[in-house]
Structure 1
Amino acid sequence: MFVIEALFLLVNYGVVAAIVVVIALMLARLVLNYADPNPFSRPVIWLRSVTDPLVAPVRRALLGFGLGPNVAPLIVILLAILLGWLALQLASTVLNTAAGIVFCLRRGAPVALVGYLVYGALALYSLLIFIRIIFSWGMVGYSNRLMRFLVNATEPLLLPLRRMVPPLGMFDISPIVAFLIIWLFQAAVAGTLLRGWPLNFIG
């Protein structure tokens, strides 16, 4: 259990450090946009080469929405925080499931072991649906490998729900129904297979 907690702390510190680095780079990029320095100086060239892979896709998306590209560094900061949070949620789900499995193996509880596996799988599936929603809002296309995986993994549940639940105007509410169904199954697992057992070990 100590190893799992240490691993989560390591992931947590790594994600937070990555977010802080992105924020620092984007703030420097914002200063660069408004300071109008010599574009051929070595620091400016280095900063642009480091930040362009993050800023360029966001700038293209903003132009597609008819928005000014100057706010792209701020959007990158918000996206970095959101993606960092999603990464921590994913790590917490996987490591909590692993901790539950280790806990059950030590206690010799096969029923609870099945419960932790099912509960963790449901939590992971719910998170995949949420990430797909975020990516679709960000206009990430099916040609993206990660988006393709998310669609292929979540469509078996969302497609039948989409056929049964009519959209509200232009809004597809099938993911909300999917979240409710998954939450109901998680509550059922917690109330039967995991009654009296802890649900969260870390995070």
Structure 2
Amino acid sequence: MLVGSVYPWVSLVIWTVYFAFLAFLLLRLIFNYADPNPFGAVGRFGFKVRKATEKFVYPAARFLATYKVDTRLAPIVTALIALFLTYFGWRIIGNTFEIIDGLSDSVGSGNPK
């Protein structure tokens, strides 16, 4: 029951949040390489995007800096880590719903083994 009715909506929310986060990271990557005028409208928007994503990207940038890799690539590393965490979180939730469905079906049929 949960897998058929609730899980598609939960899955949709999880992946929508991931893709919104990915869009912000890609915008940050574009603004990192474009280096817009900080006093223009695009520069102010880029600063807002950078400020919003800094707490997620900074640890990856610091990691890349220790190995002398260009820190402008940090949004890509952050996006890959977020993809990894999103996928495994999505599967954990799906498996939990399947377990709950299996237990509720077996209890409902009188065979709780």
TM-score by length of 2: 0.87
Structure 1 segments (4+ residues) deviating >3 Å: none
Q: Give the SS at the match of 2:36.
A: coil
CA contact (8 A) 1:38 1:44 kept: no
Extract unaligned runs of 5+ from structure 1. Answer: 112-203
CA distance in 2, matches of 1:33, 1:99: 47
CA distance in 1, matches of 2:34, 2:18: 24
Larger RCO: 1 or 2 (CA < 8 Å, sep 6+): 2
1:65 deviates by 3.0
State, as a whole percentage, how many aligned pairs show the same letter.
Answer: 26
Q: CA RMSD in A?
A: 1.5
CA distance in 1, matches of 2:5, 2:44: 40
1:130-161 residue CA offsets vs partner (Å, 9 max, x unmatched):
xxxxxxxxxxxxxxxxxxxxxxxxxxxxxxxx
1:92-150 residue CA offsets vs partner (Å, 9 max, x unmatched):
12111100111101111022xxxxxxxxxxxxxxxxxxxxxxxxxxxxxxxxxxxxxxx
CA distance in 2, matches of 1:53, 1:14: 22
1:38-77 residue CA offsets vs partner (Å, 9 max, x unmatched):
2244312211111111111111111223322111111111
> Which residue pairs with 1:26 in the alignment?
25
> Which residue pairs with 1:39 in the alignment?
38
CA contact (8 A) 1:8 1:92 kept: yes
Aligned 1:59-74 pairs, distance under 5 A: 59-74=61-76
CA contact (8 A) 2:57 2:75 kept: yes
Q: Which one has the bigger helix percentage?
A: 2
Counterpart code for 2:94:
S
CA distance in 2, matches of 1:66, 1:46: 27
Aligned 1:84-99 pairs, distance under 5 A: 84-99=86-101
CA contact (8 A) 2:18 2:82 kept: yes
CA distance in 1, matches of 2:72, 2:46: 17
